[in-house]
Amino acid sequence: MSFRSSIRAAAISNLLLAAAFVTVFCLATSASAVTLVWDADSNLQGTGTWDANTTQDWKTSNTAGAPDSKWNPNDGTLDAQFGGTLSAAATDGTGSANGKVTVSGTINVDSITLAPAAGTYALSGGVLHITNPTNSIVMNTISSGAARAQVIASQITGTDITVFTDSLTGGVNSLLTLGSPGTGVTNTFTGDLIFGGSNTASVGFAQININNPTALPATATVRMKRNNSQLLFGSGGASGSNTFTATYNNNIILNDGGSVATSQSIGAFSNGTVITLGGVISGNSGLIFQLGTGGGQGKIV
């Protein structure tokens, strides 16, 4: 090999190494999502619009003050956190007066944490494409009965959707409602609906409420990985007291966490609601048809 060829080969080698370093660096930096905190009213809460790189209603830190950020980039690498202290929620599924969030267009988000000290956020409109299949929606900070019920009535897309609830204070339950009363939204995520958290959890129910006939995709298996999981169909209260009739052919795995789950439940709130379950219900677990510790007037077939 000539001297000139050796120089050229060395230069190409160095360029390839540099390119590889840049690629690894980019992958490493994108692996850690940045959290933006909702702050539509300069007090870490508020009613407003969640859009892409338009409205400045986010904070880069969890401290009250004028919002300093827009939702950008809209590429699924950002986490969204909703906190503050909201007013008492309405009983029609629309949330607290200062907790109504209107989603505009398609928002790509890594995960969503719903953690107000009181009151109910209600996210509605648009599309939420959630890119994190293991911590999709985090309800792990619910410590007050006044903040137990949160609502996502926007269309949800993605793969697996895991509602993660682990530690809860005392007997407080966490309640996430998917869909709105009535005809509601059609969720189209392509994976499963997963109750995430500890299979040894002993306090508080992790409740996921399906609030209209199309809020649970027909292809999704419901996987209860957390002990004390409750799959509800119309839960009343802040979710609205609608009645509906629907058939769900989804498979349900009561104990998908690797050890015996002692308490899993399925229930419906309103008298007049008739839910037919046509899939396979499996798992080594106790199963009680109830809402909470014994409520629910709806019929499960």
- 121/160 Cα distance (integer angstroms): 23
Alpha carbon separation from 120 to 5, 32, 86, 108, 248 (Å, rounded): 69, 28, 7, 22, 27
Give the number of C-alpha atoms closer than 13 A to the C-alpha of residue 257, restricted to the C-beta side: 23
- Cα angle for residues 182, 186, 35 (degrees, 5° grid): 110
Instruction: Spell out the SS3 assignment of 22-52.
Output: HHHHHHHHHHCCEEEEECCCCCCCCCEEECC
Would you call 299 exposed, middle or buried from its count of C-beta atoms within 10 A (0-12, 13-18, 19+)?
A: middle
Taken in order 290, 292, 294, 296, the sign of the CA dihedral is: negative
Question: Element (H or E) spanning 174, and its range?
Answer: strand 174-178
Each residue's pLDDT, cut to its tens digit, for the chain (301 residues) gives 443 444 344 443 443 333 343 333 333 334 458 999 999 999 999 999 999 999 999 999 999 899 999 999 999 999 999 999 999 999 999 999 999 999 999 999 999 999 999 999 999 999 999 999 999 999 987 888 888 999 999 999 999 999 999 878 777 899 999 999 888 899 999 999 999 988 888 888 999 999 999 999 999 999 999 989 999 999 999 999 889 999 999 999 998 876 666 789 999 999 999 999 999 999 988 899 999 888 889 999 9
pTM: 0.88
For tokens 């933006």, the residue is: 36
State the DSSP code for 171. Answer: T
